Amino acid sequence: MTLRASFAALAAILLMGTAAACTSDSGDHGNQWVAPLKGQAVQLLDFSDGGRDAKAKDVAFYGLSGMSKGMTSGADGSTYALGQKLVRLKRDRTVSTPLDTGGSAWGVVVLADNSLIFGSNGQVKKISSQGKVTVLAGVSGKQRAAGQALPASVPATAVHFTANASPFGVRPDGTILIADGNALWALKDATVKRLYQVTAKSPDGLPLLLAQNNAMDGTGTAYLSPESSGTDVDGALGDVVSVGPDGRLGKLLLPAKVSGLPGAPATYRVRWLAGDGSNGVFAHVYDKSGNNGAVIHLHSGEAELIAHEGADATSSKPCSITRPVDALHLPCILPQAMTYRSGSLILGGLANYVLQIRVA
């Protein structure tokens, strides 16, 4: 999503809080929540004014309404969304704030012991389940510029990240992957190693950066989405770079067409990426006009359409999907960020609702 589009969507959210809902069902918010079946979508949380979960707004708003800085899922089924604050959405659909970052954090990863890894002011930190915060890497107050020369390897206590270093995955061997400006770093055993660096520049000579929507699949392969040049911030799907556990670089294997979507997949703009827990990745994409928002599953050179916004779905209209609907004909726009959780995609960000889409 371009920054202009992101801010426009956020403005729409703030303005439409008290508007009447455009529903695909009876709109009876008193009904019990019903889980979706495969191929269906439903609002996991509706914290709009008058929505079924309006009481959760004071907590959910700060992690899910604005532009997302990270989203992930834990082994216990909780979803973590990072915005102005870090918000935890549990399986029972209750929300809490395990960490108030003051808006300075970027990226979030959950470890097996339910501790969290996040970036903040040029450092990568860990917060335990008891709330203790420790610094894993980075020098405080001495952040690098994106165009500076980068070492191949450096002690974690001496590395200079940019202000927006964003952890986004933990490989099976415990390596923490960090997107940092124009570089991908691997943190393990108190050492930070450079795995990849974006060398392309924009027309005005500035280095292109990695976006905040990078992902890792179940094998430990990283998928990086560099920004595009010109007025668009989001890069094209055809420009996504893969970095395997062995360091091998590659590109996504894309078919010529995706059934149900117009245009060539390589030209789709990438709004968010999420690993599928195996050897593939989900991509939240849209076309060059900013329309045709969709989620596709990419694996082994194949692409399957998972969800698609309806032709009349816009960010200017509030939304309520209180009963499961066909995910290929959504009456509402797809929230910005997403994460995979036990057979479902959870989507949130730039919306006052969270969607669950059952994919398995």
CATH number of residue 274's parent domain: 2.120.10.30
Q: Which residues of 72-100 are buried (b: 16+ CB within 10 A; e: fewer)?
A: bbbeeebbbbbbbbbbbbeeeeebeeebe
HSE (CB half, 13 Å, CA atoms) of 350?
27
Per-residue tokens: 222: 């990283």
- What's the order of all strands across the beta sheet hosting 86-89? 70-73, 79-82, 86-89, 95-99
Structurally, the chain folds into a number of domains equal to: 1
Per-residue tens of pLDDT for the chain, all 360 residues: 443 344 344 444 433 333 333 323 333 445 689 999 999 999 999 999 999 999 999 999 999 999 999 999 999 999 999 999 999 999 999 999 998 888 899 999 999 999 999 999 999 999 998 989 999 999 988 899 877 889 999 999 999 999 999 999 999 999 999 999 999 999 999 999 999 999 887 777 777 889 889 999 999 999 999 886 544 478 999 999 999 999 999 999 999 999 999 999 999 999 999 999 999 999 999 998 888 999 999 999 999 999 999 988 877 777 889 999 999 999 999 999 999 999 999 999 999 999 999 999
- To the question of pTM greater than 0.75 for the whole model, the response is yes
Per-residue tokens: 347: 């989507």
Instruction: Give the C-alpha separation, 317 to 62, whole Å.
Output: 21
273 contacts 281 by C-beta, under 8 angstroms = yes
Distance of CA 171 to the CA centre of its chain: 18
Which residues form the domain of 253?
Answer: 3-358
Longest dimension (CA), the chain: 59
321 contacts 333 by C-beta, under 8 angstroms = no
> What stretch of H or E contains 283?
strand 281-286
- Residue 150's alpha-carbon distances to 123, 154, 177, 300, in angstroms, are 16, 10, 16, 33
